[in-house]
Copies of this chain bind each other. A is one copy, B any other.
Amino acid sequence: VAERRRSWWGWGYEDAALGDEELRAMGSLLAERMGLTGSVLPAPRVADLRIGRPRLRPPAALEQLVSDDPEDRARHAHGQSYLDVLRCLEGRLERFPDLVAHPRSESELQAVLEWCSSVGAAVIPFGGGTSVVGGVDPAVGDGFAGVVTIDLAAMGRVLEVDERSLAARIQAGALGPSLEAQLRPFGLTLRHFPQSFECSSLGGWIATRAGGHFATGPTHIDDLVEALRVVTPRGVIETRRLPASGAGPQPERLFLGSEGVLGVVTEAWVRVRRRPRWRAGGTVRFASFEVGAGAIRALVQAGIQPANCRLIDPLEAQLNGVGDGTTAVAIIAFESAEHPLDAEAVRARECLRDHGGVPEGEWRSSSEEGQGGGAALAWRRSFLRAPYLRDGLMRLGVLCDTFETAVVWDRFEALHARATQAVRDALDGFGARGATVTCRFTHVYPDGPAPYFTVIAPAAVGRAEEQWRAMKQAASNAVLAEGGTITHHHAVGRDHRPWYDRERPPLFAEALRAAKRVLDPAGVLNPGVLLDAARGELE
């Protein structure tokens, strides 16, 4: 079987991208409605890039691990943010790592870190390269001798499975599908399915506190990590495998969300579970998003925890083919490896109906692979296909991006209104009237939802980056002003830094900086992410 080829610039696998013919058809459909030119930007080629010579040469001992191949450097020059893909499409990708390291073991990784520390080269840990916040961009400023990106792909194995405790020791470079494939023979699953699942890695999830499959209850990867191994320039940190502990501040929590600035996560013991066999659920329609939000709030505050609990506003439901645009739609699903779920499903159905919802169908528990009915299936397909569609829309000249947050229920409505209006106003300034701004809940907690906004508008010709920056700034300012966080699960990277800095207590930032100086004395790890680049002493 031929290995599938990853796109060097856009989402996922080349064979799954929208084809030119499909794009032209879509373009002519959208041309009138969105005021597009109808032309299709060509897929960019590595050969058209101006990639300078690397500023660094690896020592002989590392030559085997380190590549300066232009395509390798181009593939590692960006993540998958709107801006990343825009720069590729517009031929404006300008910064490249000087070298890409491909360690196959912790000791090889350690050797790379030591060399980079000694020569003052910035180090960018790279898992699946799916950051949408500039987390892997080699934009480290001028203070470094060069940039070495460390790709963890060669460290992707499930090393150990403890079937009694339902936990597995897994290398950080494992991408979602490979990780699940290795667990499947044991009848186990991690069940962590961010939208990036196809191309993102366990280490990336840990470094960015990824939000997962479960819409309620413990859902961040944080809650699935039992123990960690992290390689730092000062040596290895290994935490103890424990179901829980009250011994001091939890060490894993310093590295969960550390985004590569404190060390490179190399493996983790994670909590796995048996593959679900029973499912139940269905869809509920609401007169408006606000009514739906109230009902979902009642549901989670009643202690009901569906695995899936997405509330989609009327317009987004229509665009995804799960509604006709007149009603908000909630997709609810329970799952269990052990028992039928009729009691849970009935309880959820009744609770949502009591709060203004109109449930569809019977919600009977089934042991089939179905996901609770037609609307849920349609939505799921659209969810996994979205990143490919985004790239296609961009080639047609469409601004297509998302932003997300979490906020307490008491402030949700104000945040929703203000963020939506702020984005509209910002896009109006670029003449993009009729921009589509939609919202859904990806995760819900008893004290608040995680609203996820999608923005679609004609890109301003010749000013697409400027337009995006105006939109992003307006959205982020609105989110912060109304009490939200700059990110529920997309991370901080370089793009969210200004707002992260406002959200983060200044003395905590100082403490974090002090921890970094201990673990990364030369200041080479992912400079500019979370903290300002600050070169320390060379070793």
- List chain A positions with a Cβ less than 8 A from chain B: 162, 164-167, 208-211, 217-218, 220, 222, 226, 232, 234-235, 237-251, 253-259, 262, 271, 273-274, 297, 301-304, 336-339, 343-344, 347, 351, 406-410, 443, 445-450, 483-492, 496, 500, 503-505, 507-508, 510-515, 517-519, 530
* A242 in contact with B406 given A247-B504, A302-B338, A338-B303 (CB within 8 Å): yes
A254 with B249: CB separation less than 8 A: yes
A408 with B337: CB separation less than 8 A: no
Closest chain B residue to A234, Cβ basis: B507
- Collect the chain B residues with CB atoms within 8 Å of residue A301's CB: 166, 273-274
A247 with B496: CB separation less than 8 A: yes
For the complex, give the distance between the alpha carbons of A513 and B517 in Å: 12
- Collect the chain B residues with CB atoms within 8 Å of residue A347's CB: 339
Q: How far is the CB of A125 from chain B (nearest CB, A)?
A: 15
Closest chain B residue to A253, Cβ basis: B253
For the complex, give the distance between the alpha carbons of A504 and B166 in Å: 24
- Collect the chain B residues with CB atoms within 8 Å of residue A496's CB: 247
Q: How many copies of this chain does the complex contain? A: 2
A511 with B504: CB separation less than 8 A: no
Closest chain B residue to A335, Cβ basis: B303
- Collect the chain B residues with CB atoms within 8 Å of residue A505's CB: 237-239, 251
For the complex, give the distance between the alpha carbons of A355 and B427 in Å: 62
- Collect the chain B residues with CB atoms within 8 Å of residue A303's CB: 273, 336-338
Q: How far is the CB of A519 from chain B (nearest CB, A)?
A: 6
For the complex, give the distance between the alpha carbons of A209 and B247 in Å: 8
For the complex, give the distance between the alpha carbons of A428 and B55 in Å: 69
* A245 in contact with B406 given A301-B166, A447-B167, A508-B254 (CB within 8 Å): yes
* A503 in contact with B240 given A255-B249, A447-B165 (CB within 8 Å): yes
For the complex, give the distance between the alpha carbons of A273 and B240 in Å: 33
- Collect the chain B residues with CB atoms within 8 Å of residue A249's CB: 253-258, 512
For the complex, give the distance between the alpha carbons of A446 and B406 in Å: 27
A511 with B519: CB separation less than 8 A: yes
- Give which listed residue, B240, B337, B351, B487, contacts A485 with CB less than 8 A: B240
Closest chain B residue to A240, Cβ basis: B503
Known: A209-B245, A232-B507. 11 other contacts (CB 8 A): A162-B410, A164-B409, A166-B447, A235-B507, A243-B448, A243-B449, A244-B485, A247-B485, A247-B491, A248-B530, A271-B446
- Collect the chain B residues with CB atoms within 8 Å of residue A517's CB: 514
For the complex, give the distance between the alpha carbons of A344 and B500 in Å: 42
Residue among A242, A262, A513 facing the most chain B CB atoms (10 A cut-off): A242
- Collect the chain B residues with CB atoms within 8 Å of residue A530's CB: 248
Closest chain B residue to A490, Cβ basis: B246
Q: How far is the CB of A479 from chain B (nearest CB, A)?
A: 11
B512 with A507: CB separation less than 8 A: no
A226 with B504: CB separation less than 8 A: no
* A510 in contact with B500 given A406-B244, A486-B247, A492-B247 (CB within 8 Å): no
For the complex, give the distance between the alpha carbons of A297 and B165 in Å: 9
Task: Pull 16 A–B residue pairs with CB atoms less than 8 Å apart, ordered by A.
Answer: A162-B410, A166-B447, A226-B408, A237-B507, A239-B505, A241-B483, A242-B485, A244-B443, A244-B488, A247-B491, A249-B257, A249-B258, A262-B511, A303-B338, A343-B343, A511-B518
- Collect the chain B residues with CB atoms within 8 Å of residue A256's CB: 249-250
- Collect the chain B residues with CB atoms within 8 Å of residue A491's CB: 246-247
B165 with A448: CB separation less than 8 A: yes
For the complex, give the distance between the alpha carbons of A8 and B188 in Å: 54
A251 with B487: CB separation less than 8 A: no
